[in-house]
Chain A
Amino acid sequence: MTLRDFVNKLLGRQPASATTAKQRLQLVLAHDRSDLNPELLEQMRREIFEVVSRYVEIDLEEGDVSLETEDRVTALVANLPIRRTKPLPEAEPDPVWSASQA
């Protein structure tokens, strides 16, 4: 954030248009560069939530999986606030894990 953005925020004005332009570009380029279609990204997001939810209780409202880009490298960034950790899933023991314990 630049000093101008801060002053604008104080005065309740919109941020400078260059700041908005940069943010919009970074988002759209992350998608352009990864060449992932939105449907696939949505499916991946659901599956990531599913896997993580097995271990911890996450806040689905606040959770977000998105693409970010820096220096022409695109990263998948998952931000999943944890409500609380779940007790270890005793009910469905992993077959490989139980075998090695035996």
Chain B
Amino acid sequence: MPVTTSGSRSILICSGKGGVGKTTLTANLGIALARQGMRTAVLDADFGLRNLDLLLGLENRIVYTAQEVLSGNCRLDQALVKHKQEPNLALLPAGNPRMLEWLKPEDMQTIVGMLREHFDVVLIDCPAGIEDGFKNAAGAAEEAIVITTPEVSAVRDADRVIGLLNTRGIQPIQLVLNRVRPKMMANQEMLGVDDVTDILALPLLGLVLEDEQVIVSTNRGEPLTLNGSGSPAAQAYNNIARRVCGEDVPLLDPAKVRRGLRAKIGRLMHTKIF
């Protein structure tokens, strides 16, 4: 059933646990990919608790949603909300929460198939959890990005999601580690990057440092990648976008973010002795 349009990609952004940064990643990666010249669609697959429109600053421009497209009450191009500053990016808003009662994985595949005919990349913002909302969204994706934070609950939930993605044959599955605090990692009071990648056994697509600017940008509805901000999170999202496009961009080493003697001692304390 999914329309396979050669060259077009459908990427699921998921985490299992809520509040780890799925929607923020979708918004920022969407803008960053669009800025690189990719025709990009972002699909809000979280019909229960939609927020992608808000993070992109498009909440006042929604006329139709995925629901009207599916029921044939409007054309796809009528429902798509084009971003004014970044015309390569369009949002397909989530429909009414009541959609959850009848939406099936095939419906999601239909929508993503339609989007793939017109866009180079479709990013699917997955709802939290591993229930129907996740299954519907995962059924329409070929690739996945799993986002997690270095906390036990987020890593455990990510592991569940990775298991489900593996059984569905979704490939590649790549990892984004969000809200990294270099100082806590140096003091071994936060799971390290290697700890998380060891446990989840996924290739690392990017590391995003904890950054207050993320909150500021969501307040304004202007993703960090939109205005060429040089903040650490903005750099991370831009690098993730370049890696998604196949560019080889070296990963950040959190230990190198901090300088000085304390940082040096911190690094020494990381030495594995046995």
Residues of A within 8 A of B (CB): 1-7, 16-19, 21-22, 24-26, 28-29, 32-33, 71-72
Establish whether residues A25 and B274, one from each chain, have CB atoms under 8 Å apart when the complex forms: no
Establish whether residues A26 and B199, one from each chain, have CB atoms under 8 Å apart when the complex forms: yes
Establish whether residues A33 and B152, one from each chain, have CB atoms under 8 Å apart when the complex forms: no
Chain B residue numbers with a CB within 8 Å of A2 are: 188, 269-273
Chain A residue numbers with a CB within 8 Å of B200 are: 72
**What is the bound-complex CA distance between A71 and B270, given in angstroms?**
22
**What is the bound-complex CA distance between A29 and B272, given in angstroms?**
23
Q: Is B92 engaged at the interface, CB distance under 8 Å to the other chain?
A: no
Size class of the B contact interface (CB-based, 8 Å): 20 to 34
Q: Is B218 engaged at the interface, CB distance under 8 Å to the other chain?
A: no
Name the distance in Å between B189's Cβ and chain A's nearest Cβ: 5
Chain B, 194-248, CB within 8 A of any chain A CB? 195, 199-201
Other A-B pairs beyond A18-B191, A18-B195, A22-B195, 9, CB < 8 Å: A6-B273, A16-B188, A16-B189, A18-B192, A19-B188, A21-B191, A33-B163, A71-B201, A72-B162
Q: Which 4 A-B pairs have the closest CB atoms?
A: A16-B188, A4-B269, A18-B188, A3-B271
Chain A residue numbers with a CB within 8 Å of B195 are: 18, 21-22
Establish whether residues B270 and A3, one from each chain, have CB atoms under 8 Å apart when the complex forms: yes
**What is the bound-complex CA distance between A35 and B273, given in angstroms?**
34
Chain A residue numbers with a CB within 8 Å of B192 are: 18
A25-B273 in contact given A18-B188, A18-B189, A18-B190 (Cβ < 8 Å): no
Chain B residue numbers with a CB within 8 Å of A1 are: 272-274
A25-B270 in contact given A18-B192, A18-B195, A33-B163 (Cβ < 8 Å): no
Selected contact of B160 from candidates A5, A16, A32, CB within 8 Å: A32
Chain A residue numbers with a CB within 8 Å of B143 are: none
Establish whether residues A17 and B189, one from each chain, have CB atoms under 8 Å apart when the complex forms: yes
Selected contact of B155 from candidates A6, A19, A25, CB within 8 Å: A25
Name the distance in Å between A75's Cβ and chain B's nearest Cβ: 14
Establish whether residues A28 and B156, one from each chain, have CB atoms under 8 Å apart when the complex forms: yes
Establish whether residues A22 and B273, one from each chain, have CB atoms under 8 Å apart when the complex forms: no
**What is the bound-complex CA distance between A2 and B272, given in angstroms?**
4
Look across to chain A and name the residue whose beta carbon is closest to the beta carbon of B160. A32
